[in-house]
Amino acid sequence: MAENTVDSRPKMSSLFHSKSEQNESKHDSSSSPGVTDQEKEVAASAYDSFSAGKYEESLKQLEALQELNKEDYKIALNRAVVEFYKSGQTTTGTLKQTLLAMKNQVHTSAEDVDGLDDVENSLLYYNQAIIHFHMRQYSEAISIGERLYQFLEPFEKFAQAVCFLLVDLYLLTFQPEKALHLLAVLDKLSVQGSSKNGKGENNSNKDGANQKAEFTAMIEAAKSKMHQYKVRAYIQMKSSKACKREIKSVMNTAGNSAPSLFLKSNFEYLRGNYRKAVKLLNSSNIAEHPGPIKTGECVRCMFWNNLGCIHFAMGKHNLGIFYFKKALQENDHTCAQLGDGGNGQSKKFTGIPMCALLANKRYELLYNCGIQLLHIGRPLAAFECLMEAVQVYHSNPRLWLRLAECCISANKGGSEQESKGLPCKKGIVQSIVGQGYHRKIVLASQTTQNTIYSEGQSAAIPVASMEFAAICLRNALLLLPEHQTQDAKTENGSKNSSQSGSTESGSENSDACSGKGQETDKFLSAAPSSPLRKQEVENLRCSILACSTYVALALGDNLMALNHAEKLLHQTKVSGSLKFLGHLYAAEALISLDRISDAISHLNPENVSDVSMGVLASEQDQGSDKGDEAVESRKQTPLCYPSSVTSARAMMLFNLGSAYCLRSEYEKARKCLHQAASMVNTKEIPPEAILLGVYLELQNGNTQLALQIIKRNQLLPSAVQRVSPDSRKKPVQPLQTVQPIQLPSSFTQVQRK
């Protein structure tokens, strides 16, 4: 599952960077046209006071500057910035409103940036983008940043800041191709800037040399950061060779720092080298990393989360949930410290510095905990975690499917656990009443399993019930894009274009930053995990339809179940396992609707040609660099599911016998039952098939033989069963989740004479 990779990539580089660029906006006020020498001196002293952290003095000097020049709104902008830092960066909402008012004051908007006046106001727009970024309003920040990108050439230092901001935004929104394009632009700007500064040094005084030295130092400081960004982009693209090359550059420039070790650990995790990934994480010295106030990140939280992701991929789910809980505790502790502020306001999350707003990863961690708990077999605890996460990630269709799976698992009962041993009679004999000649054997009635799960309350109440599962699955289907018939015709063309876009990302034109790219058409957002590709969307649709059919059958809505099953069988790329389930579910719905003939056509054993878990295999094909172990942990076949085509066809024959029995064609039913029993091992015959054999013997008047079948728990007690070669090679697991057609309740009691 892709959910286990939420925030597994390290984000150790600082979030960019309201402080340095807003300082630049202060400095810019002294260079406005028509500024006198006196105003320049006051502006310079205000900037120096701000840089030294003397915000009171800076405010006084800015007030004096405002008296000298009342028409320049940039002075008011600088005052707002200074007051923001004076408050410890905690008045983010106030600063946002102030910047919005200033934007309206200059009679421009971010959507109309098309003139030289807008270049003068670019710092105002940039500060707005910074606030949107820290408030997780990524689409608004990208909209502003992409328009600022048009005016980058005259401002080399400012261009670097805008590009870095956009790179961060593109990586957070899973658009690595655009991020790599901007990094290539940064490389070009650095080369051009170096050449310009080199020419300026020959023709100017010491100021030119100082500017060149400053620019060179800035480029050198940015190189390590750029290599880290490239690694993150290549990890998202699953480009192993390019990522390995950039990892070497990161290690050369940053050494064994926490950011470089986190990135290398993530790379090894995607390659399937889990032990090496754990070793790299443990070797990182996270104690020396600055806290969330300076970096906006809780490194300890990411450390425990990454360990949980790695152990999830290794199939060690109990260890994984242990590490996820540690990450949650560390996250809550950090948020409590940030929200306290020395005023006793802990856990209210008020007054948090803007640079630390992104440090709270509670909902991402709850998402991971929910998926892990679902694998452990604790659906109710998983439901609680995922219900809290869905409040934030309500547009993720896969999350709604996981919630429905929690409800299904919670209402499945203990029949599967009881049948793991199966030659026991717990699935057949419910109780024994009386003694001697009055002794009665009460057989288990299959009709009692379809109960009302939430009687007396609304189905919309978030409870782990089958009614709420139906709502979750309906939400998941509505969130998927509509199936397009033309996609199959253009599939090869889209694959070629996606491959060329990933390999030639450095040569893309400026449309990559204009928001008109085709990436949004190829992927479906599934935050907090990575976006879903086209094939993953189709696989997800098939899984949702299969679960919807099961839930509708459990609720007794046979028409809806038949509708979902037919849609599932008509999907173009349905896997063999889901196709097998689709035929069984459609047959059960048709029999409940008294359409036996239509059900028999679905129960033809020739309909089963493959029972492989194709959905998981296709997900693994999309990311071949993940290694085999990551997929093997997700590929564990349930005990109740047939592991071979032979056992699946035997399951079809058992149900076909039930269908013939309902049409009173008992001889055909007996032949189907005996043929199916000869295809599987004795211990692998489900209890429903035993009950069917008892029913047929009672119809034939053989009460003693029926009792013998119950006592021996064998379908053919008087004959030696033949075991197929396939079942000798690979034992077939008991069949429980796919239940045969239910028998008439009038034959659930047998009286011994």
Q: How confident is the model at residue 196 (pLDDT cuts 50, 70, 90)?
A: low
Report the DSSP beta bridge partners of residue 750: 441
Taking 90 as the threshold, does the pLDDT of residue 475 lie above it? Answer: yes
Q: Taking residues 436-460, report their average pLDDT.
A: 63
Give the strand order in the sheet containing 440-443. 429-433, 440-443, 749-751
pLDDT value of residue 548: 96
Tell me the whole-structure pTM to 2 decimals.
Answer: 0.78
Q: How confident is the model at residue 445 (pLDDT cuts 50, 70, 90)?
A: low
pLDDT value of residue 704: 86
Q: Which amino acid is at 216?
A: T
Q: How confident is the model at residue 169 (pLDDT cuts 50, 70, 90)?
A: very high
Show the tokens assigned to 737. 């989740």
Taking 70 as the threshold, does the pLDDT of residue 281 lie above it? Answer: yes
pLDDT value of residue 161: 85
Of 155-159, 424-428, 486-490, which range is least confident?
Answer: 486-490
pLDDT value of residue 103: 81
Q: What is the DSSP letter of 719?
A: S
Q: Taking residues 281-287, report their average pLDDT.
A: 85
CA distance 413 to 13: 48
CA distance 441 to 434: 9
CA distance 354 to 337: 14
For residue 527, give the 3-state DSSP assignment.
coil
Beta-carbon count within 10 A of 282 CB: 12
pLDDT value of residue 91: 85
Produce one character per residue of 482-510: b if its CB has 16 or more CB atoms within 10 Å, e if not.
eeeeeeeeeeeeeeeebeebbeebeebee
More confident: 213 or 660: 660
Beta-carbon count within 10 A of 97 CB: 12
pLDDT value of residue 691: 86
pLDDT over 90, % of the chain: 32
CB 714 within 8 A of CB 684: no
Q: What is the DSSP letter of 430?
A: E
pLDDT value of residue 112: 52
CA distance 146 to 142: 6
> C-alpha distances in angstroms, 227 versus 209, 223, 505?
27, 6, 16
Of 239-243, 305-309, 334-338, 726-730, which range is least confident?
Answer: 726-730
Taking 60 as the threshold, does the pLDDT of residue 517 lie above it? Answer: no
Of 205-209, 218-222, 405-409, 576-580, which range is least confident?
Answer: 205-209
pLDDT over 70, % of the chain: 69
CB 411 within 8 A of CB 464: yes
Which of 32-46, 293-307, 344-358, 627-641 shows the highest mean pLDDT? 293-307
Taking 90 as the threshold, does the pLDDT of residue 559 lie above it? Answer: yes
Cα maximum dimension of the chain: 118
Q: How confident is the model at residue 631 (pLDDT cuts 50, 70, 90)?
A: very low
Taking 80 as the threshold, does the pLDDT of residue 199 lie above it? Answer: no
DSSP letter for each residue of 170-195: HHHTT-HHHHHHHHHHHHHHHHHHHH
Q: Taking residues 117-142, report their average pLDDT.
A: 85
SS3 track for 720-735: CCCCCHHHHHCCCCCC
CB 362 within 8 A of CB 335: yes
For residue 691, give the 3-state DSSP assignment.
helix
Average pLDDT over the chain reads: 75
How many helices (H) and strands (E) the chain has is answered by 35, 3
Q: Taking residues 426-446, report their average pLDDT.
A: 74
More confident: 632 or 442: 442
More confident: 498 or 49: 49
Q: How confident is the model at residue 61 (pLDDT cuts 50, 70, 90)?
A: confident
Of 241-255, 299-313, 619-633, which range is least confident?
Answer: 619-633
Taking 50 as the threshold, does the pLDDT of residue 628 lie above it? Answer: no
Cα dihedral angle (418, 420, 425, 429), rounded to 10 degrees? Answer: 40
Q: How confident is the model at residue 752 (pLDDT cuts 50, 70, 90)?
A: very low
For residue 441, give the 3-state DSSP assignment.
strand
Report the DSSP beta bridge partners of residue 443: 429
Taking 80 as the threshold, does the pLDDT of residue 401 lie above it? Answer: yes
Residue 638, preceding peptide bond in cis (omega within 30° of 0): no
CA distance 596 to 590: 7
CA distance 659 to 244: 59
Instruction: Give the list of residues 6+ apart from residue 19 with CB closer than 8 angstroms, or none.
Output: 85, 355
CA distance 54 to 49: 5
Taking 50 as the threshold, does the pLDDT of residue 253 lie above it? Answer: yes
Instruction: Give the list of residues 6+ apart from residue 604 with CB closer than 8 angstroms, or none.
Output: 652, 656
